[in-house]
Amino acid sequence: MKRRDKADRIGEILDELYPEPPVPLDHVDPFTLLVSVMLSAQTTDKKVNEVTPALFSEAPDPQGMAALPVERILAHIRTVGLAPTKAKNLQRMAQLLLDRHDGEVPSDMDALEALPGVGHKTASVVMCQAFDQPAFPVDTHIHRLAARWGLSTGKNVTKTETDLKTLFPEDTWIRRHLQVIYFGREHCPARGHDLSACPICSWAATKKRIAEESRRR
| Domain that residue 56 falls in | 30-131
Name the band, by pLDDT with cuts 50, 70 and 90, for residue 211: low
What is the rounded CA–CA span in Å between residue 185 and residue 179? 10
Q: Are both 40 and 15 inside the same structural domain?
A: no
Element (H, E) at 166: helix 157-167
Q: Is pLDDT of 147 > 90?
A: yes
CA 51 from centroid of its chain's CA atoms: 18
Name the band, by pLDDT with cuts 50, 70 and 90, for residue 206: confident
What is the rounded CA–CA span in Å between residue 66 and residue 209? 47
Q: Are both 125 and 144 inside the same structural domain?
A: no
> Whole-model pTM above 0.95?
no
Q: Are both 160 and 177 inside the same structural domain?
A: yes
Domain count, the chain: 2
Q: Are both 122 and 143 inside the same structural domain?
A: no
Q: Are both 53 and 77 inside the same structural domain?
A: yes
Q: Is pLDDT of 193 > 90?
A: no
| Residue ending a domain, choose from 131, 151, 181 | 131
With contact defined as beta carbons under 8 Å apart, do 154 and 147 qualify?
yes
Q: Are both 162 and 92 inside the same structural domain?
A: no
Q: Catalytic positions, please?
A: 121, 139
Q: Can you give the CATH number for the domain in which 58 is found? A: 1.10.340.30
What average pLDDT is seen over the chain? 94
Q: Are both 52 and 125 inside the same structural domain?
A: yes
Element (H, E) at 37: helix 30-39
